[in-house]
Chains A and B, each alone.
Chain A
Amino acid sequence: MSTRLEEVLGFVGAERDRHLAEASGWPRTVILCAVGSTLSQKVWERHVVRRAAGEPDLVYIDLHLVHEVTSPQAFEGLRLAKRGVRRPELVLATMDHNVPTNEEPAEPISARQIAEMARNAAEFGIVCYPMGDANQGIVHVISPQMGLTQPGMTIVCGDSHTATHGALGALAWGIGTSEIEHVLATQTLAQPTPGTMAVTVDGRLPRDCAAKDVILGIIARIGTTGGVGKVIEYRGSTIRALSMDGRMTVCNMSIEAGARAGMIAPDDTTFAFLEGRPFAPKGALWERALDEWRSLPTDAGAAFDREVKIDARELRPYVSWGTNPAQTVTIDERVPDPDALATDARDAARRALRYMALAPGTPVRDIAVDAVFIGSCTNSRLEDLRAASEVVRGRRVKDGIRALVVPGSMKVKLDAEREGLDRVFQEAGFEWRGAGCSMCLGMNPDVLRPGERCASTSNRNFEGRQGPGGRTHLVSPTVAAATAIAGHFALPADLR
């Protein structure tokens, strides 16, 4: 075996581990123990229910989050096959995507879907937080807030932004409706083992840069397919220094780099966030959980399939100019000239600029907006609202701009109101709303009109994402807030 072993050492990451397994004849679990494994590999290995040659692993799902939009056909499938929900106590449902956040009733088609969610939850014995409930909110905001999301868990949801939960060291990914039905019926999923990728960000983040700028900067560098097939682990001193809210913003947009999931190793920040939350372990169980959680971080000898290093000092506040989340520049730059881009990016850039009605060479700060949206599973937590409120305090939204603040959950709303943030926003001319996805995705009353331009703290600038013909620019909460005041893209510092 020794000569073969030498050949094997030339490989990296999963390739190396696969060759080691072949050369030694030992199972993958043993190899990972011997050479060291990554955070995502550890969580995966601890959830394998069944492993067989030539088949994807069958993995156990610790928590299944469900919302009204992608689940009705899954419940209907169960009914048709006369199947039940295997572990209703491991499923949580809420209503977030199509609910109005302005206290108006939902229009009839949405109302039917909302009623269907309530009916399915009742029929299958699943806890559901409906519209108006104190626990209701965006599914990716309420689960961590209640302490349901914990390190080392596997979490799935019929929503591509499920990676948000990776901020606490959980392995969490988005699934389709067939898989929702599969998890409801079996509490497992058969999945190919994901690859591993490390994105290490080191150094002090420049002033005016937020967690949003860290992830937009990462996507600008690795592109929309940089993470396909892999779980990204965000590492380095910049990531460690982020709060839990900031870490959730970073992990949230992993899918925008094509990744299966995004994760951050649990540490004291994570444990301090979790301790005392309603579903967090208590007493002796807390101590046992802590021991387990402390064993999760990536081992020193572990190898990743791909590694990317970023110097935080090179990051700046980003503004997207195009129609995918990698089409961004810093706020100090100009809209790019497609002819100056790489050959394979030119066509897409030309099409994007046509859709966005932008001319190459326009300084980003000269672009005026019609609407500002602060919210979504990316940026609707208390820290986001605090940061934005500081910018608008004592100022007025520019005339003619529609500006919305939509808290991620009813609890975030209540906490913000206790601090008086609702008044700060309302006095500045923002609408202050109930909890939901709102203007992130154009499937509730909050939509852009055709041609309207929006500075948005959400995650996708796809064509028509915020409403047919709407033009989305992705930014951080503080840039969104400053832009609302200035009427064009601006930093808080520009207002002084």
Chain B
Amino acid sequence: MESVRHVAGRALPLGRADVDTDQIIPSHWLKRIERTGYAPGLFEAWRTDPSFVMNDARYRGAAILLAGRNFGSGSSREHAAWALLESGFRAVIAPRFADIFRSNALKNGLVPVELPDETVTTLVAAVERDPTLEIAIDVERRTVTAPAAGVSATFPLDDHARQRLLEGLDDIALTLRHERDIAAYEARRPQWLPRVR
């Protein structure tokens, strides 16, 4: 994973609540075995509607997605995070994320920024008024600033997750440093636990 310190840029005001991962990337895209090539599938069904905000040329090149409550609900497909990243998004701002999506996003360096409902509503309205409005996210300081919208806020991100984003760490290598702890745990696992083979 690449390290992420700052995300700055224009935003796409999606604004809807309960955007599930079937909308972010429909299931027929999941038949592929590659890790890339998902950008054309992002919001595929909604993009067939010319009035869908992603089809508005003024928002082309946005680095931040502004979404409603419970973004990324439903299926555990990490393809949702991959499709967003490949489409140029580096962060999603929403009042609340579904747990698995949030975890998948963090594993891929897509910054999940949780802000209060009112703040997200303010940002959506401001970006709808002025598509060129810039938003800046500072991972180290856990802040979001958009002076033109009058927004200066902090967002929750635990120290561990923040460090992983800042350093772009390989989780597996980190865990394997604790090989002795894992082996010690394995030695005391109860005997009745099943083995598949």
A contact residues vs B (CB 8 Å cutoff): 49-50, 54-56, 58, 60, 62-63, 69-70, 72-73, 76, 81, 83, 86-92, 97-98, 109-110, 112-113, 116, 126-127, 147-148, 150, 153, 158-160, 174-179, 181-182, 185-188, 190, 192, 224-225, 228-229, 255, 258, 260, 279-281, 285-286, 288-289, 292, 324, 344, 347-348, 351, 441-443, 460, 462-465, 468-469
Contact B175 A186 (CB under 8 A): yes
Bound together, the chains give a CA A98 to CA B77 distance in angstroms of 14
Q: Which residue of A lies closest to B18 (CB)?
A: A324
Which residues of chain A are near B16, meaning CB under 8 Å? 347-348, 351
Any A CB within 8 A of the CB of B27: yes
Contact B75 A160 (CB under 8 A): yes
Q: Write 25 A-B pairs (CB below 8 A) sorted by A numbering.
A: A54-B160, A58-B178, A60-B182, A69-B30, A70-B76, A76-B35, A83-B172, A89-B196, A91-B196, A110-B31, A153-B193, A160-B100, A174-B76, A176-B81, A177-B78, A185-B175, A185-B176, A190-B174, A258-B99, A289-B190, A442-B27, A443-B27, A460-B20, A462-B22, A465-B27
Contact A442 B26 (CB under 8 A): yes
Within 8 A of A (CB), among B93-125: 96, 98-100, 103-104, 107-108
Bound together, the chains give a CA A88 to CA B197 distance in angstroms of 8
* Given A258-B70, A442-B26, A148 and B196 contact (CB-CB distance below 8 Å): yes
Within 8 A of A (CB), among B30-47: 30-35, 45
* Given A113-B31, A178-B107, A178-B108, A49 and B190 contact (CB-CB distance below 8 Å): no
Any A CB within 8 A of the CB of B23: yes
Contact A292 B175 (CB under 8 A): no
Which residues of chain A are near B74, meaning CB under 8 Å? 160, 255, 460, 462
Of the candidates A91, A109, A178, A181, the one whose C-beta lies within 8 Å of that of B32 is: A109
**Residue of B160, B195, B196 contacting most chain A CB atoms (<10 Å):** B196
Bound together, the chains give a CA A464 to CA B19 distance in angstroms of 13
CB distance from B1 to the nearest CB of A (A): 9
CB distance from A105 to the nearest CB of B (A): 14
CB distance from B186 to the nearest CB of A (A): 8
CB distance from B101 to the nearest CB of A (A): 8
Which residues of chain A are near B185, meaning CB under 8 Å? 49, 60
Contact B45 A73 (CB under 8 A): no
Q: Which 4 pairs between the two chains have the least Cβ-Cβ distance?
A: A281-B192, A72-B33, A176-B104, A178-B107
CB distance from B124 to the nearest CB of A (A): 12
Contact B31 A229 (CB under 8 A): no
Which residues of chain A are near B73, meaning CB under 8 Å? 224, 258, 324
Contact B175 A81 (CB under 8 A): no
**Residue of B100, B178, B197 contacting most chain A CB atoms (<10 Å):** B100
Bound together, the chains give a CA A113 to CA B78 distance in angstroms of 16
Which residues of chain B are near A348, meaning CB under 8 Å? 16-18
Of the candidates B104, B108, B192, B195, the one whose C-beta lies within 8 Å of that of A289 is: B192
Contact A178 B171 (CB under 8 A): yes
Contact B30 A463 (CB under 8 A): no
Bound together, the chains give a CA A60 to CA B181 distance in angstroms of 10
Contact A464 B196 (CB under 8 A): no
Which residues of chain B are near A88, meaning CB under 8 Å? 197
* Given A147-B194, A186-B182, A70 and B30 contact (CB-CB distance below 8 Å): yes
Q: Which residue of A lies closest to B28 (CB)?
A: A443
Q: Which residue of B lies closest to A149 (CB)?
A: B194
Which residues of chain B are near A160, meaning CB under 8 Å? 74-76, 100
Contact A73 B34 (CB under 8 A): yes
Contact A468 B26 (CB under 8 A): yes
CB distance from A170 to the nearest CB of B (A): 11
Bound together, the chains give a CA A69 to CA B30 distance in angstroms of 6
CB distance from B4 to the nearest CB of A (A): 15
CB distance from B117 to the nearest CB of A (A): 8
CB distance from B17 to the nearest CB of A (A): 6
CB distance from B57 to the nearest CB of A (A): 23
